[in-house]
Every structure is written in C-alpha cells, then in structure tokens.
Chain A
Amino acid sequence: MDHSLDSYGDATASATRVTPGNALRPEDIAIQPERPSQAVARYAVRLGDDSLILSHRLSEWVSRAPELEEDVALGNIALDLLGHARSFLSYAGLAWGKTEDDLAYFREEEEFRSLHLVEQPNGHFGVTIARQLMVSIYQDLLYAGLTGSTDNTLAAISAKASKEVAYHRDHAVQWTLRLGLGTEESARRMRHALEILWPYVNELFLDEPLHDELGDAGVRPSALKAAWEREIAAVLEEAGLEVPQTRAALCKGRQGEHSEHLGYILAEMQVLARKHPGATW
C-alpha cells in the first residue's frame, strides 16, 4: 500500500542538515553593510510578520497531523516560512539597530503588522489547507513581483522564498483537490473552511500610503488582486468548489489592530524570552 498521501515533504532529507554556501541566511543579512530605508524596513516587517505568525500556526500541527507524511510536510512549510520571517525581520532590524529576536519577542501586539488571515486558528485540516491555499497563492505572486524590487536585499530574499512558496502552493492545491473531490464529508468541510476564511481575504489587497513611498522597491497589494482571484477560482473550480460570496471583514492588521487571536499567539511565543530579558540562547 502506498502511504505517500503527499509527494511533498521529503522524509528522506534531514531538515537539520546545514546547507553550505547558502548565501542569504538571516545570519548573513544581520551583518551585511547595506541598511534598508525606513520605508523598506517597515515593509519588511509586514512581510516578516505574516510569515512568522503563519509559521507559528503551522507549527502547532506538528505531532497532530492526519498522517505522519503531513507532520513532515506542514513542518517543512512552517520551517520555510520561519526562514523567510527571519530574513525579513533581520533586514528590517538593521534600520533600527535591532535583531530578528528583538522584533519577534519584544514588540507589543499593536506593533505587529500581520494580516488577520494568518492569525486565524488552524481549525480542522481543511481550514488549514484553505488558509494555505489563499496565502501561498498570494505569496507566490508577491515574491515573484518582489524579485524585481529595486532593493537588492528584498529582491534576493524574495527570489529564494519564491521557490519555496511554489511548493507550498502546490501542496495546498493538491490537498484542495483531494478534499474537494474526495468524499462528501471532505467537500462539505472544505466549503465551510473557505466560507469562514473568505472575509479576511480582502485585507491582502489593501494599499497603504507606505506603498507610495516604496515605489519600485515594493509591490502594490491591489496589483495582485486580479491574478489572485483568477488563480484561486481556477483551483476551486477544478476541485468542484465555489468561490464564496461572504463579505469582507473590516481588518486593520497593517495598522496594528489585530484579530483576538494574536494576543494568545504572542503570549505563547514570547513568554520564555521575556522571562529572561537580555539572556542569550
């Protein structure tokens, strides 16, 4: 019998192996001489926070997934996202003399800039997959655009992230098809998952004054909307699912007004670091 529910999640590769010559590690970024502009730093915090919080959510699955192969796959995605977050936050921190850990562990909730969508609870596996589908299509388009950023570091981090996010997208698409076309129960659960998450989609595409300041260093969120809608509609159609008609929720994550969930996420994430301020680990 074939146990590979999923082709991604290479159980044969040691995830702890250090890849030599990996040019853009967060550790390298932290000591590079190029500093980001204030606008680029604020932008990098947004990118970093989205990945950090989503990574946290996915890591909650480890040891709880429907199959061992999924423990591996979801863990891999969490690890990739954490890597992206570390790079973006390390880079942002250079503008203010702060480290990735200063930003992750010692900012208050209202200083975070994550989207409400990534803060949403995991729910059942279908909810997690629906969230992954939405975010990975978004990040796939976003990083493809940012690969051409006039800011070299943003472009380099995005080029690397882009390859990894393509796998995340593929993983989410494959599972959307399985759940959409699998059993009646899985299709029902998937429809429900899409409906409860859809209100948070609108926030992904809101432009801010920051994007005017960034110019060609950033990507205007509204510019990704049409392609995103086209892509997700195509996947959902293939999966026998429909684009939900639920209305957009008013979300201000980029201004520091978050979902009720973020406080709990940060309480857990930051508890140990804050208990020992100034300590190294």
Chain B
Amino acid sequence: MAAQNDAGGHLSAVPSPEEQAGLERFNALIAEDSRIEPRDWMPEAYRKTLTRQISQHAHSEIIGMQPEANWITRAPSLKRKAILIAKVQDEAGHGLYLYSAAETLGTPREVLNEQLLSGKAKYSSIFNYPALSWADMGAIGWLVDGAAIANQVPLCRASYGPYGRAMVRICKEESFHQRQGFEILLELAHGTEAQKRMAQDAINRFYEPALMMFGPPDGDSPNSQQSMEWKIKRFSNDELRQRFVGMIAEQVKVLGLTLPDPELRFDEEAGRWVHKDLDWDEFKAVIAGNGPCNAQRLERRREAHENGAWVREAAAAYAAKKAQKAQVA
C-alpha cells in the first residue's frame, strides 16, 4: 500500500523544497497532458478527489448489480438469462478493477467498503430506483449503461494513469451492455402489445434518472472546475448530458418508441440539444437517502458482508496456516 502521508506537507505553511519540486513536476505533467502515476508526487486534494470519485464509481458498479440480479432467475428465455448473468458479472469485475485503482492512491479496499456500508460514501443514485419489469433490463442497459459510457469515455484520458486505464477496459464492456439493452427493447418493441407497453413504461421511468446521472447543472456543480483543471474531467455535466440526450433521441426512433420529453429539440443556433427541466429536488432527495431502494440496496450489501464474515475469516486462517507450513518446510 502506498503511504498516504507522503504528501502530508500540506499541513505546514511553507512547502519543503521537495514538495515545491513535486508540485512543479505535477503541474508540468498536467500541462503537457501526461499521466500521473501512483509513485508520483501529487497534491493531497488531487489524491482525495480521485479517491472519492473512483471509489464512488466502484460502489456504483457493485450496487448496480442488484437491480439486474433481481431479474436473473426470472429472465424469460435462457439466452437472455445467460446474457444477463454475464452482464452482472462484468459489473462485479468493473467494481474490482476500480477498487484496485483506488487502492493505488493509498486507501485499502476494506476502508472503502466500510464507507459504503456505513452510508458515508455515495454511489450513483440511479441504482436506488427499482427494476420493476423485464423491460427495465433493456432500459437500464440502453440508458444507464449508455449514460455511463458518455460519462466514462472522456475519463479514459483522465490524468491519473490507473483510473484512465481501468476506464478503457470498462468502456469496452459497457458498450456491449448498451447494445444488449437496446436489443432487449428492440425485441419488445416488435413484440405483442403488452411487450410494447412494458418497453415504453420502462423508458418513461428511466429517462429522467438517466439524464441526472451526469450530475447537477454546471452552475450548481462546485467541484467540477477544479476537476477540469486537473484533467480528471474533460467536459462539463451539461455538455455531456445534452450530447447523450441527442444520441438517445435518434436511437429511440429505431425502437419506434418515444422519450417522455415534449420539450426535447435540437437548438440549431446554439448547436446543442435542449431537454425539459429535470427534477433536481428529487435527485437531491435520492442522494440524501430517500430513494425508493436506498435502504434495501445498502441492507443487501451489509447482509452479504455480515453473512460472509465467517467465510472470509476461514479463508484468511487457512492462508495463514498454509504460509506457516511453507515456512517450516
């Protein structure tokens, strides 16, 4: 584990010559669009911001398994079941790479997990909405994985090396997920009346929460500016959101379904997409813990963690005994 105190000099008023040199090098690397690596000196605030962002992202992958796992045992065909299991597996894999990337910044996975279980850490609020029908597997893939891609493709160039590299891998898999989600909806849209209704209903429920995945409007997003300067973030929340909405506005036509947004249009003059006002009060309420499933999602995590404690202890004890044996031999 990298020592978190390496850059502890921020407490003293006058930077040491090493810190001064470190900061200059850091600024130079950022300016020339190079990558910061775990061993490089970095400002404490950069480390903290990244740890928070990467771990939130990891938590989102893990919590995000739940709404989809809810439909594995009921998937309506064996082929769809196989694809869904594989997708949920991928999300667990994403969580694992991201925890590893976060650990390179000095906080161990146990601590990050503790922050999730105690409710201290946040995760993407979309996963606090329930998956009520099979069509939600389509809407989640198309809209939620889709919004995740729009957010994450620019992160492949994030200034922190391990994060950018993790995102490259993850984005590839997310695009499979989006395509599979779209296929689910396409099949439903060409199906019976009941299937069509199911698909439209899922889109209606996930449209707004998916748009809110890009975060609050730019005027209301205090940390964004610093993240842009550090080249962690490359585009503003609103910029990404309007791009995404433009993309799905085209794709929904292929489905023969509609987006629940009468105000949606392309503003030729401004060269950007305009959508209806989103309910940011609801967004804040869900982030604060009042979403339909916040309590359920966290309780599931805690339950799994507690029920698994004896298993992890046994594995650790076994590994220790084995290591001891190897030493004696």
CB proximity of B144 to chain A, nearest CB, Å: 16
Counting chain A CB atoms within 10 Å of each CB, the highest count among B77, B83, B317 belongs to B77
Do residues A182 and B315 form an inter-chain contact, with CB atoms below 8 A? yes
User: Which residues of A lie under 8 Å from residue B321 when comparing CB positions?
Assistant: 181
Are A15 and B86 also in contact (CB < 8 A) when A68-B92, A182-B317 are? yes
Do residues B77 and A273 form an inter-chain contact, with CB atoms below 8 A? yes
Do residues A178 and B89 form an inter-chain contact, with CB atoms below 8 A? no
Do residues B78 and A11 form an inter-chain contact, with CB atoms below 8 A? no
Do residues B96 and A16 form an inter-chain contact, with CB atoms below 8 A? no
Do residues B85 and A66 form an inter-chain contact, with CB atoms below 8 A? no
Could you tell me which residues of chain A, from 97 to 117, have a CB within 8 Å of some CB in chain B?
Answer: 100-101, 104-105
Complex partner residue of B195 from A14, A273, A276, CB under 8 angstroms: A276
Do residues A11 and B310 form an inter-chain contact, with CB atoms below 8 A? no
Do residues B78 and A100 form an inter-chain contact, with CB atoms below 8 A? yes
CB proximity of A80 to chain B, nearest CB, Å: 10
How far, in whole Å, are A136 and B52 apart by their CA atoms in the complex?
42
Do residues B89 and A101 form an inter-chain contact, with CB atoms below 8 A? no
Do residues A269 and B74 form an inter-chain contact, with CB atoms below 8 A? yes
A179 in the interface, Cβ–Cβ < 8 Å? yes
Do residues B78 and A82 form an inter-chain contact, with CB atoms below 8 A? yes
Do residues A183 and B62 form an inter-chain contact, with CB atoms below 8 A? no
Could you tell me which residues of chain B, from 76 to 129, have a CB within 8 Å of some CB in chain A?
Answer: 76-83, 85-90, 92-93, 95-97, 99, 108-110
Do residues B89 and A182 form an inter-chain contact, with CB atoms below 8 A? no
Counting chain B CB atoms within 10 Å of each CB, the highest count among A68, A86, A125 belongs to A68
Do residues A64 and B303 form an inter-chain contact, with CB atoms below 8 A? yes
B312 in the interface, Cβ–Cβ < 8 Å? yes
CB proximity of A12 to chain B, nearest CB, Å: 7
How far, in whole Å, are A70 and B134 apart by their CA atoms in the complex?
26
Do residues A86 and B79 form an inter-chain contact, with CB atoms below 8 A? yes
A85 in the interface, Cβ–Cβ < 8 Å? yes
- Interface-located stretch among B170-178, B228-236, B261-269: B170-178
Complex partner residue of A183 from B77, B191, B308, B317, CB under 8 angstroms: B317
User: Which residues of A lie under 8 Å from residue B134 when comparing CB positions?
Assistant: 272, 281
How far, in whole Å, are A217 and B173 apart by their CA atoms in the complex?
41
B238 in the interface, Cβ–Cβ < 8 Å? no
User: Which residues of A lie under 8 Å from residue B180 when comparing CB positions?
Assistant: 16
Do residues B191 and A279 form an inter-chain contact, with CB atoms below 8 A? yes
A78 in the interface, Cβ–Cβ < 8 Å? yes
How far, in whole Å, are A141 and B60 apart by their CA atoms in the complex?
41
A56 in the interface, Cβ–Cβ < 8 Å? yes
User: Which residues of A lie under 8 Å from residue B82 when comparing CB positions?
Assistant: 79, 82-83, 86
A230 in the interface, Cβ–Cβ < 8 Å? no
User: Which residues of A lie under 8 Å from residue B75 when comparing CB positions?
Assistant: 272
Q: Which residues of B come within 8 Å of A, CB atoms?
A: 1, 62, 65-66, 69, 72-83, 85-90, 92-93, 95-97, 99, 108-110, 134, 169, 172-173, 176-177, 180, 184, 187-188, 191-192, 194-195, 300, 303-304, 307-318, 321
Q: Which residues of A come within 8 Å of B, CB atoms?
A: 1, 3, 5, 11-17, 26-27, 52, 56, 59-60, 62-72, 75-76, 78-79, 82-83, 85-86, 89, 100-101, 104-105, 124-126, 177-179, 181-183, 185-186, 189, 268-269, 271-273, 276, 278-281
Besides the known contacts A5-B315, A26-B78, 14 further A-B residue pairs in the complex with CB atoms under 8 A apart: A1-B109, A14-B176, A16-B86, A16-B177, A17-B176, A60-B73, A64-B300, A79-B85, A125-B308, A126-B311, A181-B321, A183-B317, A186-B314, A189-B310
13 contacting pairs across A/B (C-beta < 8 A): A11-B97, A13-B93, A15-B87, A15-B90, A59-B72, A66-B304, A66-B311, A71-B89, A79-B89, A86-B78, A124-B307, A178-B315, A281-B187
